[in-house]
Amino acid sequence: MRTIKPVYLSQLDAIEILWPGDVRVLVEFMLRACDARVQELNSQNRGSRQRSRPTLHGLAGHFARLTHVSVDRVEQVFQAHGLNLGATVEFDEPATD
């Protein structure tokens, strides 16, 4: 079974659909929103430790709904950069010295 590697936030810096940085801004918002929501859920149920991350396919849908750009166009841009639409997106890993 092949594991799909996550895509890190910095890998999205060069991708633009409507203006430079548009994808990164949305992804960073989505990651922070996921973390905030999970923290809220976990604090309400101390026995639970949930974690949530969007996929590139899901992000394409969010971008399309917000901008009225077609999902196909957004997905084509991701794929043109060699990204797998099923990959989850993560904050960059901290640098190790």
Give per-residue pLDDT as tens, 37-55.
988 887 887 776 777 899 9
Q: 87 CB contacts (<8 Å, ≥6 apart)? A: 4, 5, 6, 7, 55, 56
* Amino acid 1: pLDDT: 67
Q: Residue 97: pLDDT above 70?
A: no
Q: Are 74 and 63 in contact (CB under 8 A)?
A: yes
Percent of the chain with pLDDT over 90: 75
